[in-house]
Amino acid sequence: MTKLLRPTTIVSLLVVLLCLVMAFAPQLIAPGDPLAGTPRDRLLPPSAEHLFGTDSLGRDVFTRVVHGAWLSLAAATAAVLIGGVVGGAIGLLCGAARGRVGTAIDFVVMRFVDVLIAVPGILLALIVVATLGFGPWSIALGVGLGAAGSFARIMRAQVLRVRGEEYVEAAAVLGVRPLGVLGRHILPNAARPVLAMAALELGTAVLSVSAISFLGFGVAPPAPEWGALVSSGRDYIATSWWLTVLPGAVIVGVVLAVTRLARVIGEAR
């Protein structure tokens, strides 16, 4: 409870709540049109009227950052869900496998997972995007598959730990079917560390999605995705620093806030 009341935790929680409002109700924070611009207001520095300044087309950068939260956060959340479901299923099946055949399958699958972990996640995501085409959901699939290996490792280790507990062995002795033991006793107790890891992976996913969009493999302009906003302002970095620095600061702030909350969840588990 003391850790929940720390200033850094409270600030992180407020940042996450603000991000949720930005994603689901952006008009409450920035009622303007993120795609509309006024040419005479192009490249204005941050001010009371334009908190993050304006871009080369006179569009309000703050409005674009707020309305772009949905694109970035939705893709990152989808990536974590894909990685958690795919990796969790692999780890659950490998950890629960028994007998010679099960041990052989576990060995082969986990060697494949080792190879998957060895490949940089952003490289795997770029391969998936190049294969399926540009877009936030292709990025989400690529980033999710890149994280699946880590989820599989964690889930397998937890399943191996839980299945040796006395209550699991007692359930088996009482005649509960293997699938029942797996679903009622092993999965609920093995999934808790995986959920904590999912919260931690969300911050990494936000960073990965933004990085891939920065490289030009995300949504097509003029969609205000965070990585694309940073990329579009790099040609003006010498004269209009706010085009890259302020959207980049938002990305860093969100990643730090999510990571902090994930650590608090993991420590409180």
Percent of the chain exceeding pLDDT 90 equals: 30
The CATH code of the domain that includes 170 is 1.10.3720.10
User: Quick check: is 37 in a domain?
Assistant: no
User: Quick check: is 122 in a domain?
Assistant: yes
What is the span of the domain harbouring residue 78? 3-27+59-268
pLDDT in tens, 84-143: 999 989 988 888 887 788 888 888 998 999 888 888 888 888 888 888 888 888 889 999
User: Quick check: is 39 in a domain?
Assistant: no
Alpha-carbon distance of 183 to 7, in angstroms, equals 39
User: Quick check: is 218 in a domain?
Assistant: yes
Alpha-carbon distance of 232 to 256, in angstroms, equals 23
How much is the pTM? 0.86
CB 128 within 8 A of CB 138: yes
User: Quick check: is 33 in a domain?
Assistant: no
Which amino acid is residue 268, in one-letter code? A
More confident residue, 40 or 266: 40
Alpha-carbon distance of 16 to 210, in angstroms, equals 17
User: Quick check: is 207 in a domain?
Assistant: yes
Q: What is the pLDDT of residue 53?
A: 92
Q: What is the pLDDT of residue 267?
A: 66
Number of domains within the chain: 1
Alpha-carbon distance of 209 to 138, in angstroms, equals 10
User: Quick check: is 42 in a domain?
Assistant: no
CB 190 within 8 A of CB 161: yes
User: Quick check: is 111 in a domain?
Assistant: yes
Phi and psi angles of residue 189, each rounded to the nearest 5 degrees, phi first: -85, -25
Alpha-carbon distance of 195 to 187, in angstroms, equals 12
